[in-house]
Structure 1
Amino acid sequence: MESVTFKNKSLDVAADIYFPAGFDPARTYPAIVSAHPIGSCKEQTSGNVYGTKLADEGYVVLAFDATYQGDSGGEPRWIEDPGPRVEDFRCAVDYLVTLDYVDEDRIGVLGICGGGGYAVNAALTERRFKAVGTVTGVNFGRMMREGDLSPDAAITTLDAIAKQRTAEARGAEPRVDSSLPDSPEQADELGVTALDVLEATKYYRTPRGQQPNGATKSLFSHMGPAVGWDAFHLAEHLLTQPLQIIVGGIPGEFGAYRDGFDLFNRARSQQKDILVVPGQSHYDLYWKPEATEAALAALVPFYNKYL
C-alpha cells in the first residue's frame, strides 16, 4: 500500500493505493476507485476491507478521503457537500490515468453507504468509469430531505441551516454535529433503539472500526446543498454502465435497502443486478466477514467481467 495525494482544484486529496500481490509497475492493471461512507475515512471499510480484498483479486484500488475530511485538504472542516464530493471521483480518475501501470480503459468505481450514492452520481457524467458497484449505497439527499419524516422536514431543515449560517457569518461558533452517541453504553443510556444508529455506534465508536479520521462529524451550516440533491437524478437517462448493487437483507432506518431497489429500477444500465445478502444489515456489510465475503463474491466476478 502507498499513500498519495492528488488535486481537486486547489485542494489536496489524500488517498491510499492498494496493489495486487506481485505488483509489477511495468505491467498494466485494471483499477477501482473506492469511496468511504459519510463520516468515514479511507482507512475504514472502503480501504481496509474492500480495497484490500479487491487488490488481492488483481486490481489497483484507490481509496481516498473526501475533500474537507480526513487527511484531505479544505477549510472549514467536516463539510459534506455533494458538489466537491462528486468532483473528488473525477479527480481520482484524472490521477489514475497518469499512472503507467493503470489501464485507462479498465477503471471502475465502488462506493459504500453514502459513498455509493456519490459513486453513482459521479458515474452519470464520468464515462471513464466502465463499471459501477455499490455496497449498501445510500442516497444522501433523500436522507436529508426526510428528516423526521414530516411533510415539511426538508423546509424545517433548510430554515435551521439558514439561521445557523447567518449566525456564523456574524461570528458565532460553527455548529459541528456528531451523528452518533459517544459509545454503545451512551446509546443504551439515551434509549437509542434504531438499528442503524446502534450498529453505527458499535462500528465507529469501538475497536471494531474506529479510526482517528472516522469522526462522523458534519458542519451543519454547509448542509444546504445536500438537501436539494438526488444521487440518482437522471440515472434513467445517463447511467448506462454495468451496475452491481448490494444491500443487506435486514433493512435499517438509513434506507439503503429501498435506495438499492430505487437505483436498480431507475438505472438505464442494460447489465444490472441487485444482490440482497440474507440476514445481514447495513453495517454488517462494512466489516462482518460473512457479509463482506458475500458482497465480494458478487463484486469480483462483476468487475472481472466488465473491466
Structure 2
Amino acid sequence: MDIGVAIGDVRGPASLTDLLDQARQAHDAGIGTVWAAQAMGWDALVALTAVGARVPGPRLGTSVVPVPQRHPLVLASQALSVQAATGNRLTLGIGAGISTFTRQLFGLTFDRPARRLREYLDVLNALLRGESVDHRGETLTAAGTVGVPDAEPPDVLLAALGPAMLKVAGELTSGTITWMTGARTLAEHIVPTITGVNQKARVVAGLLTCVTDDETAVRQRISEQFAIAGQVPEYRAMLDREGVAAPGDVVVAGDEAEVVKQLDRLRDAGVTDFLAVPYGSPAEQVRTLTVLAG
C-alpha cells in the first residue's frame, strides 16, 4: 500500500510557503506522493504546479477536481500543462462534485452523475492522449484538440462511492478515490465493486490521520469540525454502510501502535494507496508523519 500525504486547504488555510513546507516535510520523511484537494481556496492544479516546480521528487495528485465547472477541453489543457511543468508526475483525480454544492454554489445541474461522467471521461481521455474530438452527446459538446509539448497523459482516477460510479471508474479510469469511507465499507463494497470491473484498479482511500495520546478527544473534535460530511448525502451513505454515526468514527487515530493497526486493516481491505490528511497539533502531525513514513 503506497502512502501519500495531503497538502494545502484540506489541512487548513495555507500560504504558498505552507504548501512548500508541507510537501518538503512529507518528501523528507520518505513519503512518495503529495495530494491536493480542490475546495474554495487554492486551485489544486495550480498548487501542485507550484509545489512540483520547487520540490523535486514526490509524485503529485489531485483529490479531487470536480468537473462540472471545467469543460474537458479546459481540464485537459490544465492537466497536460501540469505534466509539462513538473516532469510528468501527476495523477489526475476527478469527481462529479458534491451534489448540494454543485447546485447551490454554481447553479449547475447534477442529474445522472454517472452518465455525465461516462461521457465526460470518453472525451477527456481522448484529449489527454492528444486526439482530436468532435463530440455532440447527450450531456456534453466538445470539439477540438489539446497539445502541450513534453506532456504525457496522466493517470486518471474517479471519485466514486456508489455502484454506478464505481463501474464507470473501473471501465474508464485507473481506479477510484474515496473520502470519509471506513475500512469495512472499503473491504465489503468499494474494493469488490470496482475490482469486479477492473482487477488492477487503484483504490485510493483518503482519511484524516492523527497519532495522538488522546484518541477520544481527536475523534470528537473531527466529528464536530467535519460535521457537514455527516450530512452530505454521498458521505452519509458511506457512514451508514460502515454502521457509524459521525466522521470521527472512520478516521485513523490513536497512538503509534493503534495507527499502524488501522493502516494494516486498510491494506487488508484492498486499499492500494492511502491518502493521509495529517490532523492535530504540530507535535501530533510530526508524530503522524513519522508513523506514515515508517
Q: TM-score interval w.r.t. the shorter chain?
A: 0.3 to 0.5
TM, length-normalised to structure 1: 0.31
TM, length-normalised to structure 2: 0.32
Return the structure number with greater helix share. 2
